[in-house]
């Protein structure tokens, strides 16, 4: 009985480790933003790319943007974002502003399969779909 329990415990540990290894992190990943604060995105949808050098960036509908990020447990600490300054028609400018507002400071996040949820600044929840798997 003890050996069966030990074997089951070891197998469960291996299964848990395998699941953790299969769940890609943010580093080397790219995402299409589908929703911000409950609003569906209009084309061209914003993108998020998390690079291994601690930089995040992409296209925020109209303008390119970028900044630093650091993952700490279930939180992402976004540094100040910089962006190009092209003007675009509404609603693209508003959705861009919503994204750049959400990606500020230390916020919670979760990855569930191919879905990234960021509990963005000022209550602006960001939901994105993975388009590039982690290579690390």
Average pLDDT taken over every residue of the chain: 84
CA 85 to chain centre: 24
Q: What is the pLDDT of residue 118?
A: 97
For 86, the token pair is 């092209």
Q: What is the pLDDT of residue 25?
A: 75
CB-hemisphere CA count at 13 Å for 36?
26
Q: Is the pTM of this model over 0.85?
A: no
User: Where does the pLDDT of residue 14 fall: very low under 50, low under 70, confident under 90, or very high at 90 and above?
Assistant: very low
Angle at 120 between CA 117 and CA 121, to 5 degrees: 175
Q: What is the pLDDT of residue 24?
A: 57
- Tell me which of 6 and 110 has the higher pLDDT: 110
């Amino acid at each position: 009985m003890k050996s069966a329990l030990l074997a089951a415990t070891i197998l469960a540990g291996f299964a848990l480790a395998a699941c953790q290894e299969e769940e890609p992190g943010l580093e080397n990943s790219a995402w299409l933003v589908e929703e911000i604060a409950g609003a569906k995105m209009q084309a061209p949808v914003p993108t998020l790319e998390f690079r291994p050098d601690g930089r995040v960036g992409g296209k925020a509908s109209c303008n390119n943007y970028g900044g630093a990020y650091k993952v700490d447990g279930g939180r992402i600490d976004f540094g100040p974002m910089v962006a190009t300054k092209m003007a675009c028609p509404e609603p693209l400018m508003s959705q861009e502003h919503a994204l750049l507002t959400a990606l500020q400071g230390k916020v919670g996040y979760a990855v569930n399969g191919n879905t990234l949820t960021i509990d963005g600044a000022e209550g602006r929840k960001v939901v994105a779909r993975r388009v590039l798997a982690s290579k690390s």
